[in-house]
Amino acid sequence: MSFHTTLAIVFIGLVLVFSAARLWQLRTKNAGMVDPVWAAALGTGATINRVFVTIGGASWGFRLVRHFWMRNHGKPEDPRYRAFRERWGKDASRKMFWFFQLQTIVSMPLAIVFFVPAYAADAAHPFSVGRAS
């Protein structure tokens, strides 16, 4: 799969994930659950690279999701998000939607650390993105 196709899939996936988190927030009135969502193997690079990217990324992501979930689930809304809601007043719902979508934009550069090794053609040379092995 091409790098650009994967990038588009990741972006669309993040939009969907953060939209689902937004729906959860609407139901629970607790924006703090966006934190666990912060916490992916479509590359064409060397198999060993993709395996380690998947294992490393999944381990890190699950650990982070668990940490934030335990910190936020069943608890009152984080004061930061409550302050946003109060400051935004009647526009809070619309602005909170865009706040959740901003997480998509912020997450995309973080995904680069997964793209480079996942697309490296040679396991010995992880910066040889796109080079034939």
* Contact (Cβ atoms closer than 8 angstroms) between residue 34 and residue 21: yes
The pLDDT value given to residue 83: 92
Domain that holds residue 113: 3-129
Q: For residues 111 and 57, what is the distance between their CA atoms, to the nearest angstrom? A: 10
Give the closest residue to 97 by CA, choosing from 10, 24, 35, 38. Answer: 24
Give me the residue label for tokens 């796109």: 130
- Better-scored residue on pLDDT, 119 or 82: 82
pLDDT tier for residue 120 given thresholds of 50, 70 and 90: low
| Number of domains into which the chain is organized | 1
The pLDDT value given to residue 44: 60
The pLDDT value given to residue 123: 60
Does residue 18 carry a pLDDT above 90? no
Q: pTM (2 decimals)? A: 0.50
pLDDT tier for residue 86 given thresholds of 50, 70 and 90: very high
Does residue 112 carry a pLDDT above 50? yes
Mean pLDDT of 54-73: 79
The pLDDT value given to residue 87: 94
The pLDDT value given to residue 52: 73
- Better-scored residue on pLDDT, 91 or 110: 91
Does residue 47 carry a pLDDT above 60? yes
Q: For residues 53 and 76, what is the distance between their CA atoms, to the nearest angstrom? A: 35
As a whole number, the mean pLDDT across the chain is 74
